[in-house]
Amino acid sequence: MRFAKRFRVKPGTRITLAGHDPGDTTGFEDKKSVEKQIQKNLKRLSELQYLLYAENKRSLLVVLQAMDAGGKDGTIRHVMGPLNPQSCRVVSFKTPTAEELAHDFLWRIHRATPRTGEILIFNRSHYEDVLIVRVHGLVPKSVWSRRYDQINALEKILAQNNTHILKFFLHISKDEQLERLKARLDDPTKRWKANSGDFDEREYWDAYTRAYEVALRKCSTEHAPWFIIPANKKWFRNFVVSEILVEYLSNLRMKFPEAAADPPVIEPDHSA
């Protein structure tokens, strides 16, 4: 199953999110139909993470973007959760601090990128600066319109320095978002996540959709591709993301390094 090819945004392709079904499951019926494969993927992903860490020649940056309640946290928990935290981290980008605002918008991003041998997940990312910033007019168009090229330039620098980049837009419908936001209010274990601002932001759904369409078109490149992941069904979202990660890392043809020196010969102790 080559999900990477199916859901990848080809560079320069004009994107209309209305043409991508967020409820698509490509014929799979339910969670049970993919559960074994997901577990197989997670086991393989852990093996590939260990190999990436041991080889220590490259890194992987995973970017997660979505509308509010789109499933970023759930994807991290269910797909990346089993990974070894020694070489897998999550960075969440909130409202910029005073120090961050005193620098260019990519300063806080570049300093957070992964070290060699590491998998790093961005929970929201530098794309907020062409999404919420654009939708709410936080800076003039003359400023945010230049940022697509600046983002592409940064991602190219990272790729040229052996950071592999995979970017996932978790695509949900407006109705599904409403159901998830309501569910937070009904569930005592999720109520803490409820935010009135999330409901207010629904008024800007169409504006965010247009902003995402432009970002996906302008910033999906050969070295840093975007994938539009149907995410109404959480199990299918996890299945697709895990499949793409395993496929991509497997294709890197990583190898364990040779020992730095010949291991010493340990003679048996006969003194006992």
pLDDT at 265: 73
What would the DSSP string read from start to end of 156-215?
Answer: HHHHHTTEEEEEEEEE--HHHHHHHHHHHHH-TTTGGG--HHHHHHGGGHHHHHHHHHHH
Judge whether 13 lies within some domain.
no
Judge whether 26 lies within some domain.
no
Judge whether 272 lies within some domain.
no
Judge whether 21 lies within some domain.
no
Encoded amino acid at 15, one letter: I
Judge whether 271 lies within some domain.
no
For residues 249 and 57, what is the distance between their CA atoms, to the nearest angstrom? Answer: 13
Mean pLDDT of the chain: 95
Closest CA to 212 of 127, 109, 153, 150: 127
Specify the CATH number for the domain of residue 36. 3.40.50.300
pLDDT at 1: 57
What pLDDT, in 10s, does the model give residues 78-121?
999 999 999 999 999 999 999 999 999 999 999 999 999 999 99
pLDDT at 272: 61
Q: What percent of the chain has pLDDT over 70?
A: 99
* Domains in the chain, number: 1
Could you tell me the residue range of the domain that residue 150 belongs to? 3-7+32-250
What pLDDT, in 10s, does the model give residues 232-259?
999 999 999 999 999 999 999 999 998 8
Judge whether 41 lies within some domain.
yes
Judge whether 237 lies within some domain.
yes
Would you place residue 174 in the very low, low, confident or very high pLDDT band (cuts 50, 70, 90)?
very high
Can you tell me the mean pLDDT for 34-57?
Answer: 97
Can you tell me the mean pLDDT for 197-203?
Answer: 91
pLDDT at 119: 98
Would you place residue 49 in the very low, low, confident or very high pLDDT band (cuts 50, 70, 90)?
very high
Can you tell me the mean pLDDT for 169-187?
Answer: 95
Would you place residue 23 in the very low, low, confident or very high pLDDT band (cuts 50, 70, 90)?
very high
Which position has the higher pLDDT, 1 or 248?
A: 248
Would you place residue 270 in the very low, low, confident or very high pLDDT band (cuts 50, 70, 90)?
confident
pLDDT at 60: 98
Q: 249-272 burial, b for 16+ CB within 10 Å, e for fewer? A: beeeebeeeeeeeeeeeeeeeeee
**C-alpha distances in Å from residue 272, one per residue of 140, 236, 238:** 80, 59, 55
How many Cα atoms are found within 13 Å in the side-chain-facing hemisphere of 59? 21
In sequence order, the β-bridge partners of residue 227 are 8, 168
**C-alpha distances in Å from residue 40, one per residue of 69, 141, 243:** 27, 46, 10
Judge whether 223 lies within some domain.
yes
The whole model's pTM is what? 0.94
pLDDT at 191: 82
Contact indicator for 51, 246 with CB cutoff of 8 Å: no
Token pair of 64, please?
């997660």
